[in-house]
Amino acid sequence: MAKLSSNKNLIAGAIVVIILLIFAYWYFSGSSAPEAPILSGTATVGSNDLLSTLNELKSLSLDSSIFQRPAFKALSNETVILPTVVSGRANPFAPLPGFVGSAGAVGALAVPAGGLATPTH
C-alpha cells in the first residue's frame, strides 16, 4: 500500500513539473513584437504623432515670474523632524535573557532561570 501511495505522489509530482515547464515555455517564448529598426527611411503614423507632440512641447514656454510673487515667497517649510526611537531587539528570535529553554521550538515553554514557583497551602 505504501508503494502505491509513493507511486501516486511521484506521478502527481511529474504532472506538476510538466505543467510548470509548459507554462514557462509559453510565457518566455510567447509572441514577441518584432523589433522596429533603429533607423528607418519611412516614418510611421505613430512616429508622426510623436514628432508633432515633441514640436508642441518645444514651443511651450514657462513663466518663471511665479517664483517672484508674494504668495510663493510666503510659503514656509513645515517639515516635522521625527525623533529616532529604538525599534526593538537586534535579534527578535534570540532567547530572552534569564530564561532557560528553546525559544524557537514549537510548543516549548520558557522557564525562568530560578525555576517555577510552587503555591503553598
Given a cut of 50, is residue 107 above it in pLDDT?
no
Which of 6-10, 41-45, 79-83, 107-111 reaches the highest mean pLDDT? 79-83
- State whether the Cα torsion 44-50-54-56 is positive or negative: positive
**Digit-coded pLDDT (tens) for 34-87:** 565 555 555 566 788 888 899 888 888 888 888 899 999 999 999 999 898 888
Our CA dihedral for 25, 27, 28, 30, rounded to 10 degrees, sits at 100
Distances in whole angstroms, Cα of residue 64 to Cα of each of 1, 8, 49, 60, 74: 84, 74, 29, 13, 16
Identify which has the larger pLDDT, 57 or 111: 57
